[in-house]
Structure 1
């Protein structure tokens, strides 16, 4: 249904109908009520995008994430959504499901909607990852903030986790627990997040001169690959002193594999990055290096909003520190 359909229905001009819908104070009450009643009857819904094109003012922000089923991003999205509402913005969320092709489509879609800005968590933070859309974003000069995973470029503001500190904190805990052998379930080897967390872990042992036997099994920050790697390790009749999961889904995958192999939690010390969601309900306590994910989302929106208000503002970086939760 369009304004033209309503105008034909009530026998009035398009201009009169448009005024009744958009500037009701400029139309006689009787006329206005007749038009609004017809709009309800016909199921008319305003075209927000067309309205934006007319006004040249968009209240839409794009949010691109590689995995909405990751508990980390669930909290981040909640924070961004709430902050956007406070400033009268609406979020358009696109989940790329870890696909570079879908990420390319997501960026093109958001640019076609002429969004006010984009918060982006790319599918990869590998140093060599250079998506084709990067030049498009630079050319449009659209406000962009990268979150958690970042492209290895100097452009754009970013909100990142202190991944080195997260690895160091858990490494120090493992040293205190007198653990010398660790199975590390990580993201991709080329991921800079993986590399920084791994470096922090090793540094904790090097700092006190304690030897560490470490085996790394890379995955993709999701549950199933971590489950398969943990199960494969156990099938070789090996049992590590400790398992270190590099995010919540990896830790959960490892714990499921241990459970399926009938290995009790007292037999293997499990640690991970960030809290396990709702674990306390089941009396499960896993030591972790936790980040304030809600703050990460809030800061991402704040940086984006600053650039929307002032396109000349210099890019900035906000680092979310890690805290040991034991």
Structure 2
């Protein structure tokens, strides 16, 4: 499929039968243009999916040499190694990166995408704020029409035609469940992300599969929150205050959730509540303090390296579509 050329002000000028000077003035200094003229130009610009080029005056070639990265939360250590891998690989290929942290906000994600499109980045690595099936951001159609190579990471945007690099979340939940059972634990409290999140669903499904294979009776309780520390801390605190009987193990579905649970246990300081703790994703630098949490480890550096290489291949070879890459985690009983 041939790559569509980017829409320019010349294309708009032809459609509205006006000069490029008038169109340029309408797009850059709208106060100098009659309302009827401005409305007509903006209407056609939207129809053609025109994206203003913030670098147009400075570019010597047809490429900006910019890679855009949108991530849902830089607070999560999961992303640090991934971004390091992307940055290093981009530098080697003479690309710079433009990084946006949306802090879990759809509005900030939309603004970040608008900014990247206005700078006409050569490609985008996208980790969306939500992997709900119902999440359909308003920029998606424009992004598709802009014909900019995109690679998704970690969270899959439902309905998006872009390839991505993802974790085998079902396998991670299953491996963690098998390990916890092998330690003799039968009553498990799982602290999860949002109930509608496909990552939560897949990790819990893997955990449930492991429990279903156990020949002895098991009990699973699930507390939903999000993928940050504070909700996990609050949920775990409330749970342990309300229950005299402690579960055998607390199973955190990501590292921030696990840390929130540990914070709750430490604050309560009650020997009655002394469950084993298991995490999907490992706590960075925990070994320095001789504090080890058994976990399923994901190689996020590999994740970033795979994503940037796929993106650069798509940028430099327009006919290359790319396909999904699935990265499997490995069990680390002693980190």
Superposition deviation, residue 315 in structure 1: 3.2
Q: CA deviation at 1:104?
A: 0.6
After superposition, residues 157-196 of structure 1 pair within 5 angstroms as 157-196=163-202
Give the whole-Å Cα distance in 2 for the aligned partners of 1:167 and 1:78.
26
Give the alignment of 1:187-266 within 5 angstroms: 187-238=193-244, 239-263=246-270
Query: Is it true that 1:124 corresponds to 2:147 in the alignment?
Result: no
SS at match of 1:53: coil
Distance 1:221 1:132 in 2: 23
* Residue 175 of structure 1, CA deviation: 1.2
Give the Å deviation of 1:292.
0.6
Aligned equivalents of 2:160 and 2:108: distance in 1? 24
Matches within 5 A, 1:9-88: 49-50=55-56, 52-88=58-94
TM-score by length of 2: 0.80
Report the Cα offset of residue 51 of structure 1.
5.7
| Matches of 2:57 and 2:229, distance apart in 1 | 43
Counterpart selection for 1:113 from 115, 119, 128: 119
Which blocks of at least 5 consecutive residues in structure 2 are unaligned?
Answer: 1-53
TM-score, normalised by the number of residues in structure 1: 0.82
Equivalence for 2:291: 284
1:102 to 108, 114, 117: 108
- Measure how far apart 1:224 and its partner are: 0.6
Aligned-residue CA RMSD in angstroms?
A: 1.6
Deviations 1:155-189 (A, max 9, x none): 11100001011100010011111211111111100
- Does the CA-based 8 Å contact 2:194-2:224 persist in structure 1? yes
> Is contact 1:52–1:58 with CA below 8 Å preserved after alignment?
no
Q: Secondary structure at the match of 2:282?
A: coil
Report the Cα offset of residue 263 of structure 1: 4.1
For 1:286 and 1:119, locate their aligned partners in 2 and report how far apart those are by CA, in whole Å.
31
Aligned counterparts of 1:307 and 1:158: Cα–Cα separation in 2: 12
The structure with the largest alpha-carbon Rg is 1
Match of 2:329 among 318, 322, 325: 322
Offset of 1:49 from its aligned partner?
3.1
Deviation at 1:152, TM superposition (A): 1.6
- Give deviations 1:37-57, integer Å, cap 9, x for gaps: xxxxxxxxxxx9356534222
The whole-number CA distance in structure 1 between the counterparts of 2:215 and 2:149 is 46
Range 232-241 or range 93-102, more displaced: 232-241
SS at match of 1:82: helix
* 1:226-259, Cα deviation, whole Å (9 max, x unpaired): 1111111111134221101111111111001101
- Please tell me whether the aligned partners of residues 59 and 89 of structure 1 are also in contact (alpha carbons under 8 angstroms): yes
Worse-superposed segment, 304-313 or 115-124: 304-313
Check whether the contact 1:180–1:241 (CA below 8 A) recurs between aligned residues: yes
Q: Structure 1, residues 142-165: CA drift from partner, whole Å, max 9, x if none?
A: 100000011022511100001011
Deviation at residue 265 of structure 1 after TM alignment? 11
Q: Which residue of 1 aligns with 2:301?
A: 294
Which residue of the partner structure matches residue 28 of structure 2?
Answer: none
Q: CA deviation at 1:323?
A: 0.3
Q: CA, structure 1 residues 263+281, in 2 after alignment: closer, same or farther (shift >3 Å)?
A: farther
